[in-house]
A and B are shown apart, each in its own frame.
Chain A
Amino acid sequence: MISISNVSKQYKGSPRPALNNVSLEVEKGDFVFLVGASGSGKSSLMRLMLREDVPTKGSVHVLGENLVGIPSRRVPFFRRRLGVVFQDFRLLPNKTVAQNIAFSLEVIGKSQGFIQEAVPEVLRLVGLDGKADRLPSELSGGEQQRVALARAIVNKPALLLADEPTGNLDPSTSQDIMALIERINLAGTTVIMATHDRGIVDRLKKRVVELKDGEIIRDQVGGSY
């Protein structure tokens, strides 16, 4: 599913590498927490898996694609096969909930028939039925993240990348979102989640990969923060 080997990433103008000789294997159906302080390299690693960046050294394989050698015109097709959520939700403020999800299907050329069926279904799945016509500004933070999750999984991706999805949410809302992500994982989607939230990591007892100064210092199954 994911195979990262001996990856280093050096940004221009920075004295020390953001990632230093990192190797990581993730199997299908896994749930992996990426933990570590700010600047430890979590986001750099996520960016490599999304092919927003290429490593300075080493190789990155995700969903069977070699992300170092992939031609840039194939990148969009690779990204259609995974879902992404962020701390800041990244919803379009002038589109309703349903339109936000439909937009991501329209731009990859799905038919209107498919969209009309898939959008209500995924909204029901994330517990937002009845709010299809709201604007993001009329929703709570937790609800906005549900919309973002709905958009990420509407295409039934094999992999979900979550970059601090609970970073802007209060603890009880975070729990609801985590329950949803766990359900997505149980349905067979591999989940990689970068987080600072000690409570969530300790409670879920999943595989934990800890980064420090661009190096993996711990990779523990059933670990805690």
Chain B
Amino acid sequence: MKFVFSEIAQGFRRNLSMVVSVVLVTFISLTFVGTASLLQMQIGQMKNYWYDRAQVAVYMCSDVSASDVCPQGEASDDLKAAVKEKLESKTLSEYIDKYYFEDHEQAYKTFQDQFEGNAVAKYVTANQLNETYWVKLKDSTQSQIITESFTGVAGVEEVRDQRSYLDQIFSILNAASLAAIGIATLMLFSAALLISTTIRLSAFSRRRELGIMRLVGASNFYIQLPFILEGVMAATIGSVLAGGAVLAIVQFFVQGYLAERLPFTSFVGLTDGLLVVPMLIAAGIVLAALASGLAIRRYLRI
């Protein structure tokens, strides 16, 4: 064992610059992997949070609705009552958690709150805003039922699932995390190549010892072990740094910056970060062991 460690120390000293580059490349690529997986976790959390709150809006016809869907103009009280009756009917009510009706005045108030200070708020009148039945489903994925029941019904202008807005946001976030994973894969590949080059260089600079070791009958495992450990140790340093970087991002950027500015969103925390770190370190170690093991085997066969 003493021999093995002195060999590793010698190897590190002999090609320090290569070892440093292995450390850096694994550090950066695993930081990408860690960030991408945290982003995936974040998307999952936000989906849970927002999908739970997503409602289906049944917009009733107003004076300004297009005449092809609303030929009768403003929906009459009878038509509104018909929609309400249908929402309370046996077939639909078992899917619905709760619903409420928003009339012109309430819609106007919500609109003014949302667009306070915006020029558009001055020009909008209460009559231009739809009266709406907001429906909260027990299972927000079943919005299809409401859409099918009310689309085309007299007095209904449009049925809209809020999830369709959310899906756009999530697909953007998803694309970002996929891009990060793509970059990370590419970098991990180059890290593997770099590790195997480093190991081959290290073996070349020790070819005299290697020749003598084989001559006196050192087992293959004994010959290869220092090289594999050299790669693994360099990669471990890189992955520990990457783990630290991921935790720092969670602590200082997500919790310290984002969470303070967006108080109504739940963000990934240190517990999620601590879940990712061992994964990163394990990935770094496995990658390095495979890359250096293959490199030294190929080198020794020749």
Contacts and interface: CB of A to CB of B under 8 A. Distances in A.
A194 to B, nearest CB: 16
The DSSP consensus for interface residues of chain A is: helix
A77 B222 CA distance: 12
Given A73-B220, A106-B3, A109-B222, A92 B215 contact: no
B218 A108 contact: yes
A76 B208 contact: no
Contacts of A79: 214-217
Contacts of A81: 217
B117 interface: no
A69 B139 CA distance: 69
B219 interface: yes
B212 A103 contact: yes
B220 A92 contact: no
A76 B212 contact: no
A106 B208 CA distance: 16
Nearest to B213: A107
Given A92-B208, A92-B209, A107-B3, A77 B219 contact: yes
Nearest to B219: A76
Residue among B209, B219, B222 having the largest count of chain A Cβ atoms under 10 Å: B219
Contacts of A90: 208, 211-212, 215
Interface string B202-229: 0000001101111111111011000000
Interface string A97-120: 000000110111100000000000
A78 B214 CA distance: 11
A43 to B, nearest CB: 15
Interface in A44-80: 72-73, 76-80
Interface in B181-238: 208-209, 211-220, 222-223
B215 to A, nearest CB: 6
Contacts of B215: 79, 84, 90
Nearest to B211: A90
Contacts of B209: 92
A81 B212 CA distance: 15
A108 B217 contact: yes
A106 B212 CA distance: 12
Contact of A76 (B3, B211, B218): B218
For chain A, give the interface size range. Answer: 10 to 19
Contacts of B213: 107
Nearest to A77: B217
A9 interface: no
B251 to A, nearest CB: 47
Contacts of B212: 90, 92, 103-104
A109 B225 CA distance: 13
Contacts of A76: 214, 217-220
Contacts of B214: 76, 79
A146 interface: no
B225 to A, nearest CB: 11
Contacts of A80: 216-217
B211 A104 contact: no
A78 B215 CA distance: 10
B229 to A, nearest CB: 15
Nearest to A78: B217
Nearest to A112: B2
Contacts of B219: 73, 76-77, 108
A104 B211 CA distance: 11
A151 interface: yes
Contacts of B218: 76, 107-108
Interface string B273-299: 000000000000000000000000000
A165 to B, nearest CB: 14
B58 to A, nearest CB: 74
Given A90-B211, A92-B209, A108 B216 contact: yes
A177 to B, nearest CB: 19
A107 B211 contact: no
Nearest to A50: B215
A104 B216 CA distance: 6
Contacts of A78: 217
Contacts of B217: 76-81, 108
Given A77-B217, A90-B211, 4 more contacts: A73-B219, A73-B220, A79-B214, A107-B218
28 contacts: A72-B220, A73-B219, A73-B220, A76-B214, A76-B217, A76-B219, A76-B220, A77-B219, A79-B214, A79-B215, A79-B216, A79-B217, A80-B216, A81-B217, A84-B215, A90-B208, A90-B211, A90-B215, A92-B209, A92-B212, A107-B3, A107-B213, A107-B218, A107-B222, A108-B217, A108-B218, A108-B219, A108-B222
Interface of A: 72-73, 76-81, 84, 90, 92, 103-104, 106-109, 151
Across the A-B interface, the 5 shortest Cβ-Cβ residue pairs:
A80-B217, A79-B217, A107-B218, A104-B216, A76-B217
